[in-house]
Amino acid sequence: MAGLAYGAPSTSIQATDPVKHALNVTREQDFAAWYQAVITEADMAEESGVRGCMVIRPWGYGIWERIQTLLDARIKQTGHENCYFPLFIPLSYFEKEAEHVDGFAKEMAVVTHHRLIQKDGKMVPDPEAKLEEPLVVRPTSETVIGAAFSRWVQSWRDLPVLINQWANVVRWEMRTRMFLRTSEFLWQEGHTAHSTVDEAMEETMKMLEVYRSFAEECVGLPVVAGEKPENERFPGAVATYSIEAMMQDGKALQAGTSHFLGTTFSQAQNIKFQNAEGQQELAQTTSWGMSTRMIGGLIMVHGDDDGLRVPPRVAPYQVVVVPMLRDTEEDAAIVDYCTDLVNQLNGLDVFREPVRALLDKRPSKAATKRWGWVKKGAPIVIEVGGRDVAGGNVSIIRRDRLYRADGKLDSQIVAKGDFVAGATAMLEDIQASLFADAKARLDGNINRSITDLDALKAYFKASKNPGWALVQWAKPTGAELEKVVQWLKGEKLTLRNVPTDAEAADGACIFTGGTAVERVLVGRSY
């Protein structure tokens, strides 16, 4: 395989349209710089001046609000209720679970004082206001939620407990990248307690499937769902499952995880119940989370050299209408025509969710606004000039097919009424086409035929942007697994997951030569 190829940037538009300001870098030139340029040029987020933390601007946050709305509905449909737990967790809560605290100790923000005083003209923490027990800013909430579960659960009748929270969490990352790895990030974390292993495992897999279907259907990200190998488990988990998405540079992004925690946290936090036979048992718990990282995935899967492309279901605005004004008498009629169009779209159809349409009335030039919305990735941009009003038409640009084969902008003129009648279908078509492109890229770039390590090395070195390899392995554990992980690390590779839908193993383990028991995905990763 030749590895992943980016679409060619359109140069003819650049040459013919003096207003177009393309990104200052293409994916091919420098994928990491391109990623940052998209975030900046689409006004999604920016550095905050606070180490490792970003400001999420309205267009980025609007995408997050859409993710919240759509994912929250699926979390509630599967029987979970939202709660809110404290931001601060006493150190003693963590000490109860050694593996868990070890996993997070290196990156915890610690609150030690509760007051400031003036000293030598500067504000400093007041030595008199030192906390008796330091508080950790939550990196994840298993411990503090486990403490609540231990109060809530007494009898088998109290089970299952099915809750979720939308919250900010802090992990003090040394190298940060916007949306992908920030010291503070936003997420939802689900936490459940059950009376049996089977039920807890069923929950773990159910939420993995919620994540898979949400990522594919709403964010348009095709993913591979599967179990993480032992070395990639969440600290304290018995089993960790993930969805992995393939970025345009071939790297894997873990876009959601679901953990079966067994009795790890019910032992640490004493979550016990009396079973139907009157005996005390430890509850079986799970947790699962998805974060603002998803937005980083959306950018790296759907963006192109003109900026972001947002799938319609998660687009803050799905249709943006730009009136082409010329400071003439005609302007008022154009604005009226556009206002009517937006009103029709916003209230499109009471039997469906209305189309989210925006009238962009800012004073800038129409062409400047057009390219601004192209960079932001609004699914449909409409321009309306005097000729369109006279003809009862609108000029449409679809962000998923911006250019014709000759490299010219693919602007289509259609009757206004026809556009309104077909807007929902066109948006669904854009959603489907973005997904289909990404799906073809994923499916076409997983090598399933590599059976020895030399070939594996060669595959990942053969191109700048290799995809993944699905290889057979013996599922080594402990020191043997560590050897595999270290060998892969030398090649800048990681184990992603064991796909739940992969075919059964029928050969030798690529790493140990022993009998393979399953297939595991290998790739570079974020």
Distance of alpha carbon 382 from alpha carbon 397, whole angstroms:
6
Q: Which stretch binds a copy of itself (CB under 8 A): 23-31, 93-101, 336-344, 452-460?
A: 93-101
Strand pairing partners for 351?
none
Min. distance of Cβ 279 from a copy of itself in angstroms?
20
Q: How many angstroms separate the CA atoms of 418 and 246, rounded?
A: 37
**C-beta closer to a copy of itself: residue 163 or 378:** 163
Shortest Cβ 366–a copy of itself spacing (Å): 16
- Alpha-carbon separation of residue 515 from 346, 397, 519 (angstroms): 59, 55, 12
Among residues 3, 9, 103, 134, which is the contact residue for a copy of itself, using CB under 8 A?
Answer: 134
Instruction: Give the contact letters, 406-445, x = binds to a copy of itself (CB under 8 A), - = no.
Output: ----------------------------------------
Binding region for a copy of itself (CB under 8 A) out of 8-16, 21-29, 132-140, 254-262: 132-140
Taking the least distance from each CB to a copy of itself, the nearer of 128 and 329 is 128
Q: Of the two residues 79 and 444, which places its CB atom closer to a copy of itself in the complex?
A: 79
Where does 171-304 show beta strands of DSSP type E?
Answer: 184-194, 223-227, 239-246, 252-262, 272-274, 280-282, 284-291
- DSSP letters, 151-169, are HH-SBGGG--EEEEEEEEE
Q: How far is the CB of 211 from a copy of itself (least distance, A)?
A: 22
Q: According to CB under 8 A, which residues from 108 to 127 bind a copy of itself? A: 108-118, 122-125
Are the CB atoms for 499 and 519 separated by under 8 Å? yes
Site string for a copy of itself, 181-200 (x = CB under 8 A): --xx-x--------------
Single-letter code of the amino acid located at 387:
R
Q: Is the dihedral of CA 278, 281, 286, 287 positive or negative?
A: positive
Write the interaction track for a copy of itself spanning residues 349-388; mark x where CB under 8 A is met and - where it is not: -xx-----------x-------------------------
- Our finding on whether 88 is near a copy of itself (CB under 8 A) is yes
SS3 82: strand
| SS3 per-residue string spanning 183-218 | CEEEEEEEEEEECCHHHHHHHHHHHHHHHHHHHHHC
Are 191 and 141 within 8 A, CB to CB? yes
Q: Which is nearer to a copy of itself, 295 or 396 (CB)?
A: 295
x-or-dash string of contact with a copy of itself, 143-182, rule CB under 8 A: -x--xx--x-----x-----x---xx-x-x----------
521 contacts: CB under 8 Å, gap ≥ 6: 224, 226, 244, 252, 446, 468, 469, 470, 495, 496, 497, 498, 499
Select from 135, 380, 389, 438 the one that contacts a copy of itself (CB under 8 A): 135
Alpha-carbon gap, residue 513 to 493, rounded angstroms: 19
From residue 257 to residue 276, what is the string marking binding to a copy of itself with x (rule CB under 8 A)? --------------------
**494-495 and 45-47: which strand pairing?**
unpaired
Sort strands 411-415 and 393-398 into parallel, antiparallel or unpaired: antiparallel
Residue 101 interacts with a copy of itself (CB under 8 A)? yes
Contact 138, 167 (CB under 8 A): yes
CB of 273 to a copy of itself, least distance (A): 15
What is the contact surface with a copy of itself in residues (CB under 8 A)? Answer: 46, 48-50, 53-58, 61-62, 64-65, 81-91, 93-95, 101, 105-118, 122-125, 134-137, 144, 147-148, 151, 157, 163, 167-168, 170, 172, 183-184, 186, 350-351, 363
